[in-house]
Structure 1
């Protein structure tokens, strides 16, 4: 199933080096190294963001005698986060890299001097409650660091392969799905100038993703069901229909946000100056947070665990409100110049959509309903079937739903395949600002 991560096929070239057993073994060394280092970078980001999160949402309100879930404290922190991110994007060299709204997971390497600013704005966004995940920026950081490092110690390894390994390793570390991380490259491996079977070409990305995933879990991180639901049990034919309804409805809801995305992006960027439109984004996120409460803040992984820990505590009306607020927060955060990824919030949206579907369709087992909700939202927003399938299984912690999802994904894919991606294209930039469509101005238009 194609997705935005896949690259277009390369023109025919002469056969490159064969992937012999000896060559695979030798290349496995940098693959493992890249996997471990990618996971370490991600873990450092998580730990520092967690410390800053504790200061902003626990220590400071406690010292001031303010409840951390106070609507006005939520508004204050998100507004201040918008101003801080805007200042970094405006003033720091490199302007924190390209606007994440214009980038996919398969990031191009950035100059090393751009990375500190990018790292800082991601920290601020993660700790400040912005509804974006770390995936796009941390992949860009890891790709850039891996290419620079390997170029110094192993010049024989092609930079294209190094970048692919870093992407695969980071996806494995982020989502705990090393198989999915390798499979997203099924459309890219044809460009590797190496002979051998498809398995041979996927072997190294799988090694890097596995190393990244294992390292993350060993360091105390990880992605998955924080509150596993009851096991799905024996598949039932009628569940295919009900599950397809939930997945397709979730995907269709995701498309609403996707079609609003370029319009909201254009509205924010009409202000031209990054401090203005990012600060305004913080204000709008603060207002949304006042309405939706703490459950609608942050990247959404821990908040997904809260929803799954006590599904009965959230009636359908509240789940519908959470869905609307979180989708609005995702679109605003992604449009207003914050740096971050869209998959983690999509997972939260999918969990909420699945719980709502399970409440409205009581004949559908809750674990399958949640998995179908995650499948539909991630499929719409990430536009990658492999990641959607494996993340959906990981969130419910039940492998028995996978055969059902492999069938349910088909109608859900038909819902999203004709629609635009959640990505600001050069054509969109040209409509916003004609000069922004020029390659040299892409980064400048982000900051």
Structure 2
């Protein structure tokens, strides 16, 4: 390619971008994305707020009402049985089957409005009962479905490109509300789409506007209503220390170990999905009960509350980050094993998102290694979150940004380790899954 041709390509791309940005249709698309961000975020706020209220009632208020200080060891068994009984007819009879199966990651496909009720019912009917999955996948589906609902009666609904952009804007609005704001959502869109140049900017601007509006609504509603909508945040982390050779000496193999554990859970999820394709209703209930057995095993092995291993894990992550010393190594190992098994089963049979539980499992596995000479507690927390997120999402850049936002001011010191852990975990995961695909 000649120098003239090489210089002309960026100029042509710039002209194309400018022409697209100045078209009335694209201006309307940006305005629509901004306006959609507000009602979608409002719906998601009350959706997540209700989920947390139900979790509080199931795992704290109800045990106290029947005479227990906290949820007893056997509590997950009836709770997960009920979750399975609620989910089975949703999966087998309702449009959308309650959402996509979590073992396949975060689906980016547009969700039809008629599928949204099954997603909402599956999430609110099962996640508060202790299903070891997060709210992020249901929120993405709800955001997409509500955004497309706004287009249903317009001519734009017949344009596949507009449908794709509006659906993505709705999804990023929803996901930004619980992943630290529009920045993480935007980075996730960029990395997951694998786009570049003009197409990237055209897709990114609507999603940024929609998610920014959604993040603002979420922030305001928390103060106005008094509801706790949760989200993946760490108010307190251990005091940070300067990185040294020991952090990398132990951190790199720890990141690889976390990737191996996540890949084993993923393989369990794939096997579970194949198993539940026949006799789906009965086997869905059986898988839910199996998750309950894993949570009960954690409580029996450690003498701690089964709530620590149940649910999506953000509340346990906050307690773990605030006071890691309160967790014996044996309890951390039991959490990784029992919750990891429960998570693997849930990935292939129940409904929800894969990220939140993975973050807790990664942090717990890394903190279990923090007693090794030279590996600091904050470094272990940082690499655990980064490695687990990269392994589960397959998005190393997104995992680095998310981890940095979680750690706040302490992220600056840990950034080299965060990036290294993300890359190591991503590579190990890709190698393991490729080998697994060859064997199958």
- Name the residue aligned to 2:179: 175
What is the total number of aligned residue pairs between the two structures?
Answer: 407
- Name the residue aligned to 2:326: 313
Which whole-Å CA distance do the structure 1 matches of 2:429 and 2:105 have between them? 17
Which whole-Å CA distance do the structure 2 matches of 1:200 and 1:267 have between them? 42
Normalised by the length of structure 2, the TM-score is 0.82
- 1:349 match: secondary structure: helix
Conserved 8 A contact 2:83-2:129: yes
- 1:176 match: secondary structure: coil
The 1:179/1:226 distance shift into structure 2, 3 A limit, reads closer
Conserved 8 A contact 1:240-1:408: no
- 2:97 match: secondary structure: coil
Which whole-Å CA distance do the structure 2 matches of 1:190 and 1:55 have between them? 42
- 2:431 match: secondary structure: coil
Q: Deviations over 1:38-62 (max 9, x none)?
A: 3222212112222322332334333
Offset of residue 95 of structure 1: 5.7
- 1:369 match: secondary structure: helix
Which whole-Å CA distance do the structure 1 matches of 2:153 and 2:249 have between them? 55
Note the aligned Cα RMSD (angstroms): 3.2
More helix as a share of residues: 2
- Name the residue aligned to 2:170: 166
Normalised by the length of structure 1, the TM-score is 0.81
The 1:234/1:242 distance shift into structure 2, 3 A limit, reads same
Q: In structure 2, which of residues 370, 380, 388 is the aligned counterpart of residue 369 of structure 1? A: 380
- Name the residue aligned to 1:113: 114
- Name the residue aligned to 1:392: 403
The 1:183/1:371 distance shift into structure 2, 3 A limit, reads same
- Name the residue aligned to 2:66: 64
Q: How does 1:200-219 map to 2 (within 5 A)?
A: 201-219=203-221
Q: How does 1:280-429 map to 2 (within 5 A)?
A: 280-292=286-298, 293-336=306-349, 338-359=350-371, 361-397=372-408, 398-400=410-412, 401-420=414-433
Q: Deviations over 1:131-160 (max 9, x none)?
A: 011222221121111012034468388111
Q: Deviations over 1:351-400 (max 9, x none)?
A: 212211222x2422222211101111111111111331122223333331
Structure 2 unmatched runs, 5+: 1-15, 223-228, 299-305
Which whole-Å CA distance do the structure 1 matches of 2:75 and 2:88 have between them? 20
- Name the residue aligned to 1:249: 257
Which whole-Å CA distance do the structure 2 matches of 1:214 and 1:255 have between them? 36
- Name the residue aligned to 2:302: none
The 1:315/1:38 distance shift into structure 2, 3 A limit, reads same
Which whole-Å CA distance do the structure 2 matches of 1:141 and 1:381 have between them? 21
The 1:368/1:153 distance shift into structure 2, 3 A limit, reads farther
Which whole-Å CA distance do the structure 1 matches of 2:64 and 2:243 have between them? 49
